Amino acid sequence: MNLPADVQNIISILESNGHEAYAVGGCVRDCILGKVPHDWDITTSALPEQVKALFSHTFDTGIEHGTVTVLMHGIGYEVTTYRVDGKYEDGRHPKEVTFTASLEEDLKRRDFTINAMAYNDSKGLVDLFGGESDLQTGIIKAVGDPMERFTEDALRMLRALRFSAQLGFEIEADTYEAIKKLAPTLERISAERIQVEMVKLVTSDHPEKIRDIYDTGLSKVFFPEFDVMMECDQVNKHHIYSVGEHTIVSMTLAPADKVLRLAMMLHDIAKPACKTVDENGQNHFKMHPVKGAEMARDFMRRLKFDNDTTDKVCILVKNHDDRPEITPRNIRRLIIRVGRDNFDSLLAVKRADCLAQSMYHREEKLAYIDAMEKEYHKIIADEDCLAIKDLKVSGKDLIQMGVPQGQKIGEILKALFDEVVDDPNLNNRDYLLKRIEGMVK
């Protein structure tokens, strides 16, 4: 295993001062997989004060948990003292952590075998629970008794699904059974921590593993809408899957971007609530995008997503099924509705949605999206007016022409903007000034 020079350096400084030190956890796992770790964690027998005394640039990140960040060449390395987690009384946080001199104790408290390996150049790989073999066969397995481990910390259940999605691994049978039994206890975990794991799951290489949140019962706790989608079939020629399966397939067909994958996850959230049956037994889902944007917002609020992500996702949900006739005017209006910066995302959402439907009219549907994209590019290339600030006149002109400051200015600009969106040729200063004269007379 090739440790970066800084990591080797930290480890040898600790070792030459009589301590043990190893790279540990995610970085060891990623190295064995041939991936480049995104950060390096070090575990050591040295106490936090001893670590701090040995390095010139450190700061206290989680000193009460034994973590000191050592800064080298501008990169932070978390150096954590070997520890045993005390009793978890609430299924969330250990009551206290105790430092220990034993690497084995430290590895035992970790969640999964693949995350419980340590390495340094002098001792080689320390793999006490069969992590390397589980990595080779692609298995997520709890360290020790899964029922105990998930009772200590309920978040580990969702982490198991998240790692299985990131690595494309299966969850070992006993571990999976324990998740099914203890799923309701996820209720103790904060929305923020659930959000972190869900984002990692949905932006992974295997977003289809989201199916397991339903199969294990975890979604019941924080995403009951997903259960309803999984249990909602759709009888109509556009679809071959239930709402939930269609949603899952569409997620696999969208680029691995947070907003896009969340938009796919939520795009049909309101279909069950909007479902009707016509006289031929066919299902319809009128207004599901509008209602869906509301439900998506509600879900994202609950999981404490930031406003920016929430707004973007909700715009995509709301407009995912807009299908205006392709005219320059209609596409300009659509760009204005979703926002220019979101338009590429809207096209990606539409394509993923289409490809997760039946073959019925598939070619026509894709050709329609292509035509929409083409028109969009033309509008951008032509620099058509897409915002009031793109008008060739401004509020200043209106004031100079004697319009009193206030609401009236906004109204006039909006009226001119509407005209110009319909016909970009009208965005010339002379014409607009004449129009204003006519309006204020």
Q: Say which entry of ligand ATP, Mg ion, none residue 297 contacts (CB below 5 to 8 A, set by partner kind).
A: none
CB 67 → Mg ion: shortest distance, Å?
12
CB 183 → ligand ATP: shortest distance, Å?
16
- Of 41 and 245, which CB lies nearer to ligand ATP in the complex structure? 41
Q: Say which entry of ligand ATP, Mg ion, none residue 268 contacts (CB below 5 to 8 A, set by partner kind).
A: none
Would you tell me how many other CB atoms lie within 10 Å of the CB of residue 324? 12
Number of residues interacting with Mg ion: please give it, by CB under 5 A. 1
Beta bridge partners of 99: 83
- Of 202 and 379, which CB lies nearer to ligand ATP in the complex structure? 202
Question: Cα-flanking dihedrals φ and ψ of residue 153, to 5°?
Answer: -145, 105
User: Which uninterrupted H or E stretch holds 316?
Assistant: helix 307-319
- Of 111 and 397, which CB lies nearer to ligand ATP in the complex structure? 111
- Of 26 and 339, which CB lies nearer to Mg ion in the complex structure? 26
Q: Say which entry of Mg ion, ligand ATP, none residue 156 contacts (CB below 5 to 8 A, set by partner kind).
A: ligand ATP
Given CA atoms 363, 369, 372, 373 in this order, what sign does their dihedral have?
negative
CB 3 → Mg ion: shortest distance, Å?
16
Q: Look up residue 278 and give its two tokens.
A: 């016509």
In order, the DSSP letters of 52-107 are HHH-SSEEEEEGGGTEEEEEETTEEEEEEE-EEE--BSSSSSBS-EEE-S-HHHHH
- Of 24 and 248, which CB lies nearer to Mg ion in the complex structure? 24
CB 37 → Mg ion: shortest distance, Å?
8
Given CA atoms 85, 87, 93, 96 in this order, what sign does their dihedral have?
negative
Nearest to 148 by CA among 187, 115, 108: 108
- Reported in sequence order, the residue ranges of 158-198 that DSSP labels E, i.e. its strands, are 170-171
- Of 196 and 366, which CB lies nearer to Mg ion in the complex structure? 196
CA separation for the pair 91, 189 (Å, rounded) = 8
- Of 202 and 316, which CB lies nearer to ligand ATP in the complex structure? 202
Strand 83-85 relative to strand 97-99: parallel, antiparallel, unpaired?
antiparallel
Q: ∠140-136-149 over CA atoms, to 5°?
A: 20
37 lies in the site for Mg ion, by CB under 5 A: no
Beta bridge partners of 22: 43
- Of 45 and 115, which CB lies nearer to ligand ATP in the complex structure? 115
26 lies in the site for Mg ion, by CB under 5 A: yes
CB 20 → ligand ATP: shortest distance, Å?
17
Binding site for ligand ATP (CB under 6 A): 25-26, 41, 110-111, 115-116, 153, 155-156
By three-state DSSP, how is residue 4 classified?
coil
CB 170 → ligand ATP: shortest distance, Å?
18
Q: Say which entry of Mg ion, ligand ATP, none residue 140 contacts (CB below 5 to 8 A, set by partner kind).
A: none
Q: Say which entry of ligand ATP, Mg ion, none residue 153 contacts (CB below 5 to 8 A, set by partner kind).
A: ligand ATP
Q: Say which entry of ligand ATP, Mg ion, none residue 115 contacts (CB below 5 to 8 A, set by partner kind).
A: ligand ATP
Residue nearest to ligand ATP (CB): 26
**125: burial class by Cβ within 10 Å (0-12, 13-18, 19+)?**
middle
Q: Say which entry of ligand ATP, Mg ion, none residue 91 contacts (CB below 5 to 8 A, set by partner kind).
A: none
Q: Look up residue 169 and give its two tokens.
A: 């691994």
Q: Say which entry of Mg ion, ligand ATP, none residue 111 contacts (CB below 5 to 8 A, set by partner kind).
A: ligand ATP
CB 39 → Mg ion: shortest distance, Å?
5
What is the binding site for Mg ion (CB under 5 A)? 26
